[in-house]
Chain A
Amino acid sequence: MSDAPVISEAQVRQVAKLGRLKLTDDEVAHFTGQLAAVLEHIATLNQLDVTGVEPLAHASDRHSVLRDDVPGPTLAPDVALQNAPDRQDAFFKVPKVLGQGGGA
């Protein structure tokens, strides 16, 4: 169909950036072709008239389930941090990001 989406390499770079993925130039080229094929298949959805059809986000019949607001057990800091790549005391530790001329 005429409005079949063709994704460009620039768009692939943009979605990779939005998705926090670093890609090499080779990967960009490789993924662009593959994503274009999938998007062309997805474009078959345009054959359907969905006017007036209510969207179905999930098949569950439960919505906005509430529970009593009572304290329960939580993870101890050491347990919560046990898989952290780096930590200091009870904190997740990341590389220094301030003092580079920007920041707060």
Chain B
Amino acid sequence: MELVHATLTQQRDAIARGDVSAVELTQAYLDRIAQHDPALGSYHEVFPERALKTAAAVDAGEITGPLAGVTLGVKDLFCTDYGTTTCSSKMLAGYRSPFTATAVQRLEDAGAVVLGKTVMDEFALGSSCETCAHGGARNPWDTDRVPGGSSGGSAAAMAGSLAAATLGTDTGGSIRQPAALCGVVGFKPSYGRVSRYGMVACASSLDQAGTFTRSVADAALLTKLMAGADANDNTCADRHVPEDLDAVDTPVPGLRIGLPKQYVLEGANHPAVQAAVDAACALYRDQGAELVEVDLPHTKYGIPAYYVQMTAELSSNLARYDGVHYGHRTDRPTTDPAELTALSREEGFGDEVKRRIMLGTYVLSGGYEQQYYDRALRVRRLIRNDFDAAFDAQGAGVHAILCPTTTGPAFKRGELIDDPLAMYLNDVYTVNVNLAGICGISLPAGTAQVDGSALPVGVQLIGPAFGEQTLLQVARQYEQHAGHTELRAPIG
């Protein structure tokens, strides 16, 4: 069925017109998962019965809404009161949540059909989907390569047309980086735009839910439906969500695109990535936009500041896994409660989780807090100030900043897994957006030829805090004219 490769909006309209039933479309996706996912490993758990039952209720008119009958894959970090929620960790193997995350609930309330939970880097820590406790997802463009991470399963499922859209979370690039490596649209809204209730906490001041989609309009529609205040999350912004957030076809008058001079890393970018950014510049110039150089002088301090604050928050959040209340408990005999916890955590957590817990514990430990944590927070302020100046609406600020999403296309499995610092540098173009709490989107920008494989590359557009509407309009303008909307992974 060709419709499985179409946009979510097209599928929704096809169901509404009666061209296809929700059950037929859901079954087509379940069939594709059965056929392709053994090779891709993008789903941790699939819910065929529940999905078909929901789809049947849509066909019977019992479930209506702006997403009636369209399918979703959900990162296995969003709690669902059905199935398990494991964060791809042995620590949470078999964990059954008593509640459903707000983001998921709102999309289901709008009629979406959840197909299953997608594989991720363990506790969202990684950029390759290799740190998960069971297998790991692969890139549909070349299964010897990583799909990116941490939301790698959601990116791979989207690229493989194994759902109409998928949900991810982005703490330092975990939506945008895998979206770029898999050739799909990956959108991270501003911090606080979407409730974090029911998202297993990674780094609480940075985590944000977002989407993988085939189109910018799909990302806008899903965001509109997920966004808005939530009594269950005090950090969720009590701000107006534009009713026409998904009306992305309107071009921005007097468009000004910022090009950060610090993002032109000498020799760091793969030629295809640089070519994609250059082509995007030309596209916007042809569309009448003004291209402006912007100065983000603290860019290079983003990665070190991020790894201080993110690990500090992570080590605190993961302290809850104590082998007592829920999660893995050791079978080894002990009568010491501290040892019970330490043994359970030794067995339940993988290496990357342990590394980051230790790093976070170290930077928060007595005598080092000023040197690391406090300094990182001050640097975070400087990074935010850089963006505020670039977007300054009072002066000659830009509407959006254009840059690469990643330095290159997907790398091979195993290539970086034992070099944490090199893995962390994957986030070089994405992490500052999280530190500043602003929004960013990665768009498919063609392919690079690497060792006989065509591999996708992405370009990133960055907008100010709660400036989703303008950012999505600017993104749509690229999508409409760049000619990459038919990009599909070669898996049939």
**Stretch of B53-61, B278-286, B325-333, B451-459 contacting A (4+ beta carbons < 8 Å):** B325-333
Q: Contact at A59–B358, with CB atoms within 8 Å?
A: no
Please report which residues of chain B, range 58-109, place their CB below 8 angstroms from some CB of chain A when the two chains form the complex: 95-96, 98
Instruction: Select from chain A the residue with minimum beta-carbon distance to B376.
Output: A45
Determine if B483 is an interface residue (Cβ-Cβ < 8 Å): no
Which residues of chain B come closer than 8 Å to A11, judged between CB atoms?
362
Which residues of chain A come closer than 8 Å to B376, judged between CB atoms?
45
Given A44-B300, A45-B379, A48-B382, verify A84-B325 contact (CB < 8 Å).
Answer: yes
Which residues of chain A come closer than 8 Å to B315, judged between CB atoms?
19
Cross-chain contact of B304 among A17, A42, A82 (Cβ < 8 A): A42
Which residues of chain A come closer than 8 Å to B381, judged between CB atoms?
53-56
Cross-chain contact of A95 among B205, B234, B334, B436 (Cβ < 8 A): B334
Determine if A29 is an interface residue (Cβ-Cβ < 8 Å): no
Please report which residues of chain B, range 310-338, place their CB below 8 angstroms from some CB of chain A when the two chains form the complex: 315, 319, 322-329, 333-338
Q: Contact at B205–A57, with CB atoms within 8 Å?
A: yes
| B300, B328, B337, B420: residue with the most chain A Cβ atoms closer than 10 Å | B420
B12 to chain A, nearest CB (A): 32
Q: Contact at B358–A45, with CB atoms within 8 Å?
A: no
Given A22-B343, A56-B380, A95-B334, verify A31-B358 contact (CB < 8 Å).
Answer: yes
B57 to chain A, nearest CB (A): 25
CA distance A19 to B438 in the complex (A): 31
Please report which residues of chain A, range 14-71, place their CB below 8 angstroms from some CB of chain B when the two chains form the complex: 15-23, 27, 31, 34-35, 37-39, 41-48, 50, 53-62, 65, 67
CA distance A53 to B98 in the complex (A): 43
| B333, B421, B465: residue with the most chain A Cβ atoms closer than 10 Å | B421
CA distance A50 to B384 in the complex (A): 14
Instruction: Select from chain A the residue with minimum beta-carbon distance to B205.
Output: A58
Q: Contact at B301–A67, with CB atoms within 8 Å?
A: no
Please report which residues of chain B, range 431-484, place their CB below 8 angstroms from some CB of chain A when the two chains form the complex: 435-438, 465
CA distance A92 to B382 in the complex (A): 46
Please report which residues of chain B, range 215-256, place their CB below 8 angstroms from some CB of chain A when the two chains form the complex: 231, 234-235, 237-238
Determine if A80 is an interface residue (Cβ-Cβ < 8 Å): yes
Determine if B374 is an interface residue (Cβ-Cβ < 8 Å): yes
Determine if B272 is an interface residue (Cβ-Cβ < 8 Å): no
CA distance A46 to B191 in the complex (A): 27
Determine if B341 is an interface residue (Cβ-Cβ < 8 Å): yes
Determine if B156 is an interface residue (Cβ-Cβ < 8 Å): no
Which residues of chain B come closer than 8 Å to A42, judged between CB atoms?
304, 307-308, 363, 372
Q: Contact at B354–A62, with CB atoms within 8 Å?
A: no
Determine if B375 is an interface residue (Cβ-Cβ < 8 Å): yes
CA distance A44 to B300 in the complex (A): 9
Q: Contact at B98–A79, with CB atoms within 8 Å?
A: yes
Instruction: Select from chain B the residue with minimum beta-carbon distance to A93.
Output: B324
User: Which A residues contact B (CB, under 8 angstroms)?
Assistant: 7, 11-12, 15-23, 27, 31, 34-35, 37-39, 41-48, 50, 53-62, 65, 67, 75, 79-80, 82-86, 92, 94-97, 100
User: Which B residues contact A (CB, under 8 angstroms)?
Assistant: 95-96, 98, 190-192, 204-205, 231, 234-235, 237-238, 298, 300-301, 303-305, 307-308, 315, 319, 322-329, 333-343, 345-346, 349, 354-355, 357-363, 365, 372, 374-382, 384, 420-421, 424, 435-438, 465
Beyond contacts A42-B372, A62-B237, A97-B337: 9 other A-B pairs, Cβ-Cβ < 8 A, are A15-B362, A19-B357, A21-B345, A21-B354, A38-B421, A42-B308, A57-B377, A61-B237, A85-B324
Q: List 17 A-B contacts (CB under 8 A).
A: A12-B358, A15-B361, A16-B354, A21-B346, A21-B349, A22-B339, A41-B303, A41-B424, A42-B304, A48-B298, A50-B379, A53-B379, A60-B192, A60-B205, A82-B96, A97-B336, A100-B335
